[in-house]
Amino acid sequence: MCTEAVSAAPAATQRAVSGMAAAGHLAWLNIHRMRCSQAFFAEIYMEAVAAAPAAAHRAIAGMAAAGVLQRHYTLNIDGLGEAVGMDTWHPDTNPEGQIHLPN
C-alpha cells in the first residue's frame, strides 16, 4: 500500500509547478507517511499479540527460578517474559521502576 500510493499520486502533485502545488504535495505526502507509519505499527502490534513464548523464554525463566540468572536485559515489547512467569519490569505493574533484588 505505501509504496504504490506514492507513484499513484495525482499528476498535479507529482510535478509541483508552483508554491501552492508544492505545498499541496507536501501535505499529501505527510498524510501518506502518517498512514504508512500507522499501518506498519499496527502490523508489528498484531505480530506481538500473536507471539508465543519460545524454548529460550522458558529456559531463561527456569534459570531465574533456579537462582542462577544474574541479569536479564530485554526490550520486553511482547510480554513473553511475563507469560513464562518471569518477574520483569512493566510500566503498569511497576511505574516507578523500582528494582527488586532477591534476598
Q: Tell me the pLDDT tens digit for each residue of 72-89.
A: 887 777 788 888 888 776
* 67 lies in the same domain as 93: yes
Q: What is the pTM of this model?
A: 0.48
Q: Which domain holds residue 28?
A: 2-50
Cα separation, 57 vs 75, in Å, equals 13
Average pLDDT, the chain: 75
Report how many domains make up the chain.
2
* 41 lies in the same domain as 63: no
* Alpha helix positions (H), the chain: 2-7, 11-14, 19-50, 55-66, 80-83
* 103 lies in the same domain as 56: yes
For the chain, percent of residues with pLDDT exceeding 70 = 61
Report residue 37's pLDDT band, with 50, 70 and 90 as the boundaries.
confident
* 22 lies in the same domain as 60: no
* 9 lies in the same domain as 22: yes
Cα separation, 70 vs 36, in Å, equals 41
Please report the pLDDT score of residue 16 as a whole number.
47
- Grid cell 499501518 is found at 39
* 40 lies in the same domain as 76: no
* Pair 80, 57: CB distance under 8 Å: yes
Report residue 48's pLDDT band, with 50, 70 and 90 as the boundaries.
confident
* 46 lies in the same domain as 15: yes
* 97 lies in the same domain as 79: yes
Compute CA distances 60 → 32, 72, 93, whole Å.
Answer: 42, 8, 21
